[in-house]
Amino acid sequence: MPKRTPPWFGTIEIEITEFRDDPPNDAAFGIYADVKGAGSRVETVRVYFDEDLFPGYFRVRWNKKLPDEERKILHEKRDLMIRWALVKIEDYLKGKIQEETVFISYARDSAWLEKVEKSKISPQSRPEGPNRFIFDA
Q: What is the pLDDT of residues 6-55, one digit of tens each?
A: 567 788 999 999 998 878 888 889 999 999 987 777 899 999 999 888 88
Total number of domains constituting the chain: 1
Q: Is residue 23 part of a domain?
A: yes
Say if strands 11-20 and 132-136 run parallel, antiparallel, or are unpaired: antiparallel
Q: Is residue 74 part of a domain?
A: yes
Is 80 exceeded by the pLDDT of residue 73? yes
Residue numbers of the domain that contains 76: 11-136
pTM (whole model) above 0.75 = yes
Is 90 exceeded by the pLDDT of residue 71? no
Neighbours of 112 (CB within 10 A): 15
Per the prediction, the chain carries an average pLDDT of 88
Closest CA to 90 of 79, 102, 78, 80: 102
Q: What is the pLDDT of residues 100-113, one digit of tens each?
A: 899 999 999 999 99
Is 60 exceeded by the pLDDT of residue 93? yes
